[in-house]
Amino acid sequence: YHEEKIALHASIDASLRKPYAVRVSDALIQAYGLDSHLTRCVCGKHWSPIAENEVGKFHTEAYLAFLQKLEFDAHEVTDEAASFVLNSSVCFSETAWPYSQIYTGGSVAAAHALGKGQADVAINWVGGQPHARRDCASGFSYVNDVVLAILALLPTNERILFVNMDAYHASGVEEAFYTTDRVLCISLHRGQAGFFPGSGGIKDTGQHDGANHNINLPVRDGFSDADLDAIFLPTLEAAAARFQPHAVVCCAGTSVLAGDRLGCMNMTLHGYSRCLRALLSIGRPLLLLGGTSYMQSNTARAWTALTAIACEVDLPPEIPEHEFSSYYSPTFRLEVTPVTMDNLNTAESLKATCDAALNTVAQMSHRTAVPKLTQPAAAPCPMDATADDAPTMAVRSDEPPLAAPEHAMDVSHPSGCAEPQRAHQQTPQLAAQQPAPGSQPLSQPPEQVPPSQQPQDAIGEAGTHEAEIAPEQAGVSRDAPEESAPSPDAPMDVEPD
């Protein structure tokens, strides 16, 4: 799922780099010829930016009204901004709303394709913004497309496994599903005092019906490929076997890779690829989303490698010649090599975290086994593809999609607890950006959901919340370039999404 002009939403003033990283990644995917092994579902042809009423299934009307005013009437809502942010890392770009419609529209369209049995794997690299709450932004997550995609899957999938592979804890997703047993959240992330978003503790395992359905795997600086066998892979295998999900959603952030000076982890593409293979081995429909992406070249390497694995294609290590070839200097190779840094994870600390996770899994109810997907076969694009289109990246299963479970959870309340109180909130910056095309609302809006079924957001009191900052004065910049191309791998002194 791709938007050809997504890079127009990159903003230096708002420190928003991901749209450009997606453009660089897509260029490398095409340079390797992977587009001949998948179907490109393009925005405006196969799917549309999400409509406001669809976003309202999770987010509040007041917050959405604020986002929509940013594009043309930001001066009218500058004073309101403090009411719609969770922490000091938020910096709104002027195209925050149309950008959110695009990345969320892709994630939800991909989820619908999986739910209808039209594909076994669907990828939306621009998606994967898991930090936004129902009434405010957090980091660069303006709209929580991950929560909305999971909600789109729940009507036809009784249980969803969500996996976060990123240096940053998926705080908004954890909060949304903290009290339900229909969504199991597993998050591998950097656990460091003062590190964004400040949540994701080992003891946060869920509440009420969701007790023992939230597993956090916080690790320390220098986490490497060798550490995967000590903590992540055994936890994932045990949890999947006991929970028996009907579908899997994964945020594949690249801040876990070596060289990311904010993520401070030290994984290579070999270890990163093992994680995806472990997810594919579960044998369930998989929604693969992007996550944090600061190093443009390593992000492109990683997402290209994962796309190739999903397509069952082996790639040569040499980077093909294309418009961004210079980004891969000096090696011009696909590999991400480890850097020289101390690994602060000890065998004892990893074992303690893994033991705690496996203990949580052991207390989870053992579900009835779900049949694995059959060997994929070619299928048309899920969204109005013609016969001339390439075979789909994720091929259909021979089995029909699941019917809605008789005892389905009321998705209008994915959590069920009271909304957390935020005594102090940070006023964000409002960064101007040239409006980008391709952000029109759906020409044919999806089906409305009755108000009684619209979701509410909540978290258990035992959850660890993000740091909250006292209000500051917001500013509005009007000097942003029309389309900024950030240097490939320059560090950012900002908090990530």
Q: Return the active site residues.
A: 131
Cis upstream peptide for 491 (omega within 30°): no
Q: What is the CA radius of gyration of the chain?
A: 21
Residue with tokens 């369930």: 284
**What CA–CA distance (Å, rounded) separates 428 from 426?**
6
**What CA–CA distance (Å, rounded) separates 376 from 124?**
20
**What CA–CA distance (Å, rounded) separates 250 from 310?**
13
Beta bridge partners of 431: 93, 477
User: What are the contacts of 30-37 at 24+ separation with CB within 8 A?
Assistant: 30/322, 31/319, 31/320, 31/321, 31/322, 32/304, 32/308, 32/315, 32/320, 34/304, 34/307, 34/308, 34/311, 34/313, 35/390, 36/390, 37/311, 37/313, 37/390, 37/391, 37/393
Residue 359 phi, psi dihedral angles, 5° rounding: -65, -40
Residue with tokens 């191309």: 485
**What CA–CA distance (Å, rounded) separates 34 from 26?**
10
Amino acid present at 369: A
Q: Taking CA 284 as the corner, what is the angle to CA 278 and CA 287, rounded to the nearest 5 degrees?
A: 85
Cβ proximity of 284 and 370 under 8 Å:
yes
**What CA–CA distance (Å, rounded) separates 89 from 77?**
18
Q: Output the CA–CA distances (angstroms, integers) from residue 398 to 41, 336, 387, in the order listed.
A: 22, 37, 20
**What CA–CA distance (Å, rounded) separates 219 from 188?**
7
Cβ proximity of 315 and 300 under 8 Å:
no
Give the SS3 label for residue 301.
helix
Give the SS3 label for residue 24.
helix
**What CA–CA distance (Å, rounded) separates 363 from 159?**
17
Nearest to 125 by CA among 22, 7, 24, 6: 22
